[in-house]
């Protein structure tokens, strides 16, 4: 459900408006956000004293502090502005966990565990964000290196093959270098790697908050024998939440999965779990000729299995047809509100049966708005610690 952009050249254009560890907050960005907040929240009161106080704080310290209301609004609008996310209809429902006071590896781990518990909600997934401290001039805040709080390891084998998820083979190597000793299976949940005060610390997640769904098929009993499964809460954890010139580099957030994210990408892509050839053989299809459309047939059955399995487990998931219609509803609401709704066509159109969905048949405004979730340029790796 959540798809976000890698800012690339856009980052170069807006970098001056986002505070970093050497320079202070850009006043124009702070004022722009505060004006947006007050424009959409009339009950917040007069804007003049708030602007005066925020700008004065920037003059004194190089930064400023968002109120709880500003933080919540900024996080929700960052979701609203995410041009690669099809599931933005419910942006106002995002639950905010303000944890700006937590700045240790143990504290961040505890809050990530609680995030998974709250967001998982026994299968009724709730859109949730946990926001840790922002960067300040001269002080780099904590980072979570993991792309998501839950992802699976990729174990390199002597013959060059990889057991597990090839996408995370390098990350798995990093975790091993820090002392992690995994079982070596196909679905080993990676530990958290947290950068705090120039040191990378490794922490593992307790099994009780790792909700996983075994993949079965409503018509093919052999599907269970493939041994596939996937985790329930897609909590993105390596993106910066940018609000009014402030960067919150550790702010894990989640919606719920759309079936194609798992069935047409994670388990299907040739550089991931690459299950389509195996499924096609079980289906008795001729894989020697592309004209048999064996990939298409296998892909549909894999997606049927994913949707069926999450429904059987009582875990929230949406299908791409339903979510496409919801996105069109969101688009119409935004247009009625007089707002631009940014959207990247190549990400909004689902990777399965795209032309059968309403999002396929139109163009979008692919603009970059703030607040936003963004990947920042890579920085030099801190020193390591095996605690």
H helices present in the chain, as ranges: 9-14, 27-40, 47-61, 68-80, 105-120, 169-177, 259-261, 276-282, 294-313, 320-336, 345-348
Query: What's the whole-number mean pLDDT along residues 154-182?
Result: 98
Question: Which are the catalytic amino acids?
Answer: 85, 88, 256, 261
CA dihedral sign of residues 267, 272, 274, 275: negative
- Kindly tell me if the per-residue pLDDT of 6 is higher than 80: no
Query: What's the whole-number mean pLDDT along residues 57-74?
Result: 98
Predicted pLDDT at 23: 73
**Percent of the chain surpassing pLDDT 70:** 91
More confident residue, 112 or 387: 112
Is there a contact between 245 and 17 (Cβ–Cβ < 8 Å)?
yes
Q: Which of 270, 274, 291, 292 is nearest to 283 (CA)?
A: 292
Q: Which residues contact 321 (CB under 8 A, 6 or more apart)?
A: 353, 356, 357
**Phi/psi at 381 (5° precision):** -65, 135
CB atoms within 10 A of CB 101: 8
Predicted pLDDT at 60: 97
Tokens of 10: 């856009």
Predicted pLDDT at 18: 55
- Kindly tell me if the per-residue pLDDT of 327 is higher than 90: yes
Q: 378: pLDDT confidence band, cut at 50, 70 and 90? A: low
- Kindly tell me if the per-residue pLDDT of 278 is higher than 70: yes
Tokens of 134: 């922002």
Q: 377: pLDDT confidence band, cut at 50, 70 and 90? A: low
Q: Which helix (H) or strand (E) holds 131?
A: strand 128-131
User: What's the predicted TM-score (pTM) here?
Assistant: 0.93
- Kindly tell me if the per-residue pLDDT of 21 is higher than 90: no
CA dihedral of residues 228, 232, 236, 241 (deg, nearest 10): 170
Q: 381: pLDDT confidence band, cut at 50, 70 and 90? A: very low
Q: Which residues contact 369 (CB under 8 A, 6 or more apart)?
A: 81, 340, 342
Residue 247 assigned ligand-binding role: no
Any idea which of 2-6, 139-143, 201-205, 377-381 has the lowest mean pLDDT?
2-6
Q: Which of 77, 61, 67 is nearest to 27 (CA)?
A: 61
pLDDT tens, position by position, 85-131: 999 999 999 999 999 999 999 999 999 999 999 999 999 999 999 99
3-class DSSP state of 373: strand
Q: Which of 236, 251, 300 is nearest to 141 (CA)?
A: 251
Query: What's the whole-number mean pLDDT along residues 167-192?
Result: 98
Predicted pLDDT at 5: 36
- Kindly tell me if the per-residue pLDDT of 295 is higher than 90: yes
Tokens of 126: 């709730």
Q: Where are the domains of the chain?
A: 1-97+126-143+239-256+324-348+358-378
Question: Domain 1-97+126-143+239-256+324-348+358-378 class?
Answer: alpha beta
Predicted pLDDT at 22: 58
Q: 259: pLDDT confidence band, cut at 50, 70 and 90? A: very high
Q: 174: pLDDT confidence band, cut at 50, 70 and 90? A: very high
Angle between helices 68-80 and 27-40 (to 10 degrees): 90
pLDDT tens, position by position, 334-369: 999 999 999 999 999 999 999 999 999 999 999 999
Q: Which residues pair with 201 in a beta bridge?
A: 194, 385
């Amino acid at each position: 459900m959540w798809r976000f952009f890698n800012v690339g050249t856009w980052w170069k254009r807006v970098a001056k408006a986002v505070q970093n560890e050497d320079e202070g907050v850009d006043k124009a960005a702070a004022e722009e956000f505060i004006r947006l907040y007050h424009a959409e929240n009339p009950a917040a009161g007069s804007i003049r004293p708030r602007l005066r106080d925020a700008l004065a704080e920037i003059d004194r310290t190089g930064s400023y502090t968002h109120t709880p209301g500003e933080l919540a609004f900024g996080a929700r609008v960052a979701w609203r502005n995410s041009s690669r996310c099809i599931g933005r209809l419910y942006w106002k429902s995002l639950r905010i966990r303000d944890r700006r006071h937590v700045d240790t590896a143990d504290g961040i781990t505890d809050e990530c565990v609680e995030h998974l518990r709250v967001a998982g909600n026994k299968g009724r997934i709730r859109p949730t964000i946990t926001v840790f401290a922002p960067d300040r001039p001269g002080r780099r805040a904590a980072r979570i290196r993991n792309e998501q709080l839950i992802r699976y390891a990729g174990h390199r084998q002597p013959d060059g093959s990889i057991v597990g998820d090839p996408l995370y083979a390098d990350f798995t190597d990093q975790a091993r270098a820090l002392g992690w000793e995994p079982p070596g299976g196909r679905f080993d949940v990676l530990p958290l790697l947290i950068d705090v005060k120039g040191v990378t610390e490794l922490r593992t997640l307790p099994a009780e908050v790792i909700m996983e769904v075994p993949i079965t098929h409503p018509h093919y009993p052999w599907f269970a024998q493939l041994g596939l499964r996937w985790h329930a809460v897609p909590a993105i954890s390596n993106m910066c939440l940018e609000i009014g010139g402030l960067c919150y580099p550790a702010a894990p957030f989640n919606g719920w999965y759309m079936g194609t994210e798992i069935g047409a990408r994670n388990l299907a892509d040739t550089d991931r779990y690459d299950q389509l050839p195996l499924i096609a053989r079980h289906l008795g299809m001729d894989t020697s000729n592309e004209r048999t459309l064996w990939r298409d047939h296998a892909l549909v059955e894999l997606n049927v299995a994913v949707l069926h399995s999450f429904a059987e487990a009582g875990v929230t998931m949406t299908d791409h047809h339903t979510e496409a219609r919801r996105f069109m509803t969101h688009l119409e609401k935004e247009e009625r509100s007089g707002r631009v709704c940014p959207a990247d066509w190549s990400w909004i159109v689902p990777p399965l049966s795209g032309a059968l969905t309403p999002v396929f048949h139109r163009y979008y405004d692919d603009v970059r708005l703030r607040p936003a979730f963004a990947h920042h340029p890579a920085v030099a790796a801190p020193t390591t610690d095996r605690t």
